[in-house]
Amino acid sequence: MTNEFRQAVFEASERPDVRAAVLRIYADLQPKIDSRRPLCVASGRCCKFEEYGHRLFVTTMELAAFLHDVAGLGKSIDSSLADWNGLGCPFQSGKLCGVHPIRPFGCRIFFCDPTAIEWQQEQYETFHRQLKDLHNDLGIPYFYAEWREALRMLER
């Protein structure tokens, strides 16, 4: 999967239509979050996947958009992974997300609010289905990979 995945992500990252489609999904999600107002205490615990007991998954198109946009934040996947201890998210900076404006869908929808678990699952299913459909619509191979594994596959 690695070579085919890498190629699909790098090729899709060069396509403005792919990036625009991912941004539209994120923009469509935001009013749902604003309306529900799930609690986020900005503790950074959710970025410590091992401690919090969850994993983050991304699609080909999400990772392509992220790959394109991360340079605009003055960061790179290679340097972030080089300085990373292998635990949690390599982009966590203290208690905050170092890539918050371009974070993947799973990060956008996940909140530590125990009253929002069912809501989060419903939104995730709805918007992930839309993301998956976009892969077909735009002719992008669909991969669904764990965030950190996917980032490692993109290292040069």
DSSP letters, the chain, are -HHHHHHHHHHHHT-HHHHHHHHHHHHHHHHHHHHH-------SGGG-HHHHT---EEEHHHHHHHHHHHGGGT--HHHHHHT--SSS-TTEETTEETTGGG--HHHHH--S-GGGHHHHHHHHHHHHHHHHHHHHHHT----EEEHHHHHHHH--
Helices (H), 100-146: 105-109, 117-138
Q: Write the pLDDT tens digit of every residue in 75-107.
A: 888 888 888 888 889 998 888 888 989 999 888
Residue 119 or 28, more confident: 28
Question: Residue 134: is its pLDDT beyond 90?
Answer: yes
Question: Which residue ranges make up each domain of the chain?
Answer: 2-154
Mean pLDDT of all residues in 110-117:
76
Q: Write the pLDDT tens digit of every residue in 14-73.
A: 999 999 999 999 999 899 888 888 777 667 777 888 887 778 899 999 999 999 999 888
Number of C-beta neighbours around residue 49 at 10 A: 18
pTM for the model = 0.90
pLDDT at position 131 is 95
Helix (H, G, I), strand (E, B) or coil at 155: coil
Confidence of residue 1 (pLDDT cuts 50, 70, 90): low
